[in-house]
Structure 1
Amino acid sequence: TLLLSFCPSSSLCLTLHPSLHPTDCSAGSGDFNHFPDDPEFADIIQRAEQAIENGVFPERISQGSSGSYFVKDPKGKVIGVFKPKSEEPYGHLNPKWTKYFHKLCCPCCFGRGCLLPNQGYLSEAAASLVDTKLGLGVVPKTKVVYLASDTFHYSAIDRAKSKGKKYALEKVPKVGRHFHRVGLPPKLGSFQLFVEGYREADFWLRRFEAEPLPENIRKQLQSQFERLVVLDYVIRNTDRGNDNWLIKYEKPGGEGDRQKDAEWTEKSSASCVKIAAIDNGLAFPFKHPDEWRAYPFHWAWLPQAKVAFSLETRDLVLSRLSDMNFVQDLCEDLYEMFKTDKGFDKTMFERQMSVMRGQVLNLTQALKDGKSPIQLVQMPRVVVERSRSGGHGRVVTLGNAFTQTFHCKRPFFTSW
């Protein structure tokens, strides 16, 4: 519904009814990107919008199965990665035809049966939220934003409307000025800050295998790796391979200055190794994988996964994860984020949180028992639901509020 109102700049203008979703009309993206609690992020988004207005458009990323884009600032420097909801792997405007063909030819088995479809953008932002709440610092800051660009994949109707408005503005200025926005409608999606100096984990892991790290740097890598494990396990990431997490390794000094390098690594307290957990769009399942594939954590086969969780990691997250009030606050924060989606279903969201609570319960016990990441992923899968009668599997009551259920069903191709 569009409401008519008067404003000083013109005799008549169109305003958006509050009940409408921004993508239902051609409103400007700048009207919705407000981050009063994060002025630094707000400034980055503003620079991205200015760049698009000046003709410096986002560039589509060739890798992956969805439409995702490198977003630039007015000088052409990449500052973020934007993943529109409508261009997700099975989204109706995905520009990469392979997934559409998959859905068309195999409608009974497309996608991941444990995930809600077309919520990847929320999963990306929610992973950043969990990372921040736990103080992990491995997920580049990610939030939900609105952006519009000629380089995004739009329907023929949207492009025709945009051309029609531009034509009206050129031919009949008095009519054209009443349009709230002349260009293409903004797209809803996740915006993740771009990280520089990182390479795919597989590259550095091979290098580290051939050229072992100094002991103190190895400990830094292990600490960062454990933070990645904590994140992935809590959000039950179903898509973590060595190609979608990154490592940054800054070796001090020059190649020939080995003595200087050794002195620096002994004295310096600054971190030389840093991990970035990107591509978190396939997390927060509403059930454990129990159909065809297990969607394992591929880091479980790395040598770092055989080392028991460090005291540093336990001190960082154990007190928070073992606090039911903290976990409940985390669920409430995620609820505020997920409920903004047009297809939000409270029942399905509660199932997602039941899986996450089970993951938290297992992780808490593993940290207390001094287990390693590989031992963690071998623990029985648990779902912690709000107490109710019935249920499947072995049930244990946790106080009056929640019920712990051991998830017994396994996928056909079992793995960690």
Structure 2
Amino acid sequence: MFNSTFNGLQKGNQPIRSSEGTGGTYFMQDSSQEFISVFKPIDEEPNAVNNPHGLAVSPDGEGLKRGTRVGEGALREVAAYILDHPKGGPRNLSSEAIGFAGVPPTVLVRCLHKGFNYSKGYEGSLKNVKIGSLQMFMKNDGSCEDMGPSRFPVEEVHKISVIDLRMANADRHAGNILFRKGEDGQTVLIPIDHGYCLPENFEDCTFDWLYWPQARQPYSLDTIEYINSLDAEQDIALLKFYGWDIPIESARTLRISTMLLKKGVERGLTPFAIGSLMCRENINKESVIEEIVHEAQDSLLPGMSEAAFLEAISEFMDSQLDKLAK
């Protein structure tokens, strides 16, 4: 993917900016002018200095979704790929093996090209180098906005739910789930756009699949086995190994969301039931997981450790889930 993208630029194939979305997204071509990857520069994110859609620069650094920061979208895109483990366990990042949920291979790169957006003009110097996420372009037949969800296989919807619940995704809508027909005629779903996952809080978590009929079906034994194998501490260490020392607040989100997912399936809860605990019913009413976090915070004495806080979260979560499972 990386070499093919570079060869395409060397051949003179221009980046093609997408007209969709709120940030700068560029389709990159290989030497034969086939789409090979998608590049998202961090300085063209919504509310960043070179945003091509005219969105104002964030006054306090907060992104469009609460609990996210402008300029961290690329890191979150790469993190979603790193943490989308195949069933056999974490992959080597140099491998393009597809994980459980099917997040396309994604890496962090530097790129210099006059075809990107520069609010102060392009000079061709090193200061114009862009840093961003480069994701493999996945051939598809459209997005889930283009067809009714009743046609999606249950397991395909469930795999999307697992990555979204784990990562507390704050931007899962039908437009950023692609679909394609496999060789066997079955529909395959492909999750993209993970720049708003692992937020610092759960305020903006949203999952379109929550309202699809498949979300009310129980997880299969294979999916439950995969969920049980997840380990938030190993995931945090893995992200650090690959260069992202994840913020304390986002690490906490990953620990809590993984805890909720694992405890939920232990009680036989469906994706709908678990997701409903993480998402708000409306913008003014806190979600159940937000209430649990606040209860745990109120129960602790000043200076208590993160481990003590997570233990309190676990106890309050058990109480809520036991009521739901009855």
Q: TM-score per shorter chain, which class?
A: 0.7 to 0.9
- Alignment RMSD (CA, Å): 3.2
1:190 is the counterpart of 2:133? yes
Deviation at residue 184 of structure 1 after TM alignment? 7.4
Q: Specify the alignment match of 2:71 in structure 1.
A: 118
Aligned partners of 1:382 and 1:404 also within 8 Å: no
Q: Specify the alignment match of 1:24 in structure 2.
A: none
TM-score for both structures, normalised by structure 1: 0.63
SS of 2:170 mapped into structure 1: coil
Aligned partners of 1:90 and 1:118 also within 8 Å: no
Sequence identity percentage: 22
TM-score for both structures, normalised by structure 2: 0.79
Deviation at residue 66 of structure 1 after TM alignment? 0.7
Q: Specify the alignment match of 2:115 in structure 1.
A: 151
Deviation at residue 122 of structure 1 after TM alignment? 0.7
Supply the AA of the counterpart residue of 2:200: F
Query: Structure 2: where are the runs of 5+ without partners?
Result: 88-98, 278-287, 318-326
Describe the shift of the 1:143–1:116 C-alpha distance in structure 2 as closer, same or farther (beyond 3 A).
same
- Aligned counterparts of 2:128 and 2:63: Cα–Cα separation in 1: 29
Describe the shift of the 1:94–1:403 C-alpha distance in structure 2 as closer, same or farther (beyond 3 A).
same
Describe the shift of the 1:225–1:136 C-alpha distance in structure 2 as closer, same or farther (beyond 3 A).
same
Q: Specify the alignment match of 2:81 in structure 1.
A: 128
Describe the shift of the 1:83–1:185 C-alpha distance in structure 2 as closer, same or farther (beyond 3 A).
same
Q: Specify the alignment match of 2:102 in structure 1.
A: 138
Counterpart of 2:202 (choices 285, 288, 294) is 288
Aligned length: 290
Describe the shift of the 1:80–1:399 C-alpha distance in structure 2 as closer, same or farther (beyond 3 A).
closer
CA deviations over 1:308-339 (Å, ceiling 9, x no partner)? 11122112232x12xxxx32121111234454
Query: Structure 1: where are the runs of 5+ without partners?
Result: 1-43, 163-181, 209-217, 253-269, 408-416
Supply the AA of the counterpart residue of 2:178: L
Aligned partners of 2:140 and 2:178 also within 8 Å: no
Q: Specify the alignment match of 2:284 in structure 1.
A: none
Deviation at residue 183 of structure 1 after TM alignment? 7.6
Question: Which protein is bigger by CA-based radius of gyration?
Answer: 1
Describe the shift of the 1:295–1:271 C-alpha distance in structure 2 as closer, same or farther (beyond 3 A).
same
SS of 1:118 mapped into structure 2: coil
- Aligned counterparts of 1:204 and 1:149: Cα–Cα separation in 2: 36
Supply the AA of the counterpart residue of 1:297: F
Aligned partners of 1:397 and 1:404 also within 8 Å: no
Supply the AA of the counterpart residue of 1:370: G
Q: Specify the alignment match of 2:289 in structure 1.
A: 381
- Aligned counterparts of 1:89 and 1:66: Cα–Cα separation in 2: 5
1:233 is the counterpart of 2:165? yes
Deviation at residue 391 of structure 1 after TM alignment? 6.1
Aligned partners of 2:62 and 2:69 also within 8 Å: no
- Tell me whether 139-148 or 375-384 shows the greater mean CA deviation: 375-384
Q: Specify the alignment match of 2:56 in structure 1.
A: 100
- Aligned counterparts of 2:79 and 2:205: Cα–Cα separation in 1: 20
SS of 2:131 mapped into structure 1: strand
Q: Specify the alignment match of 1:332 in structure 2.
A: 237
1:49 is the counterpart of 2:6? yes
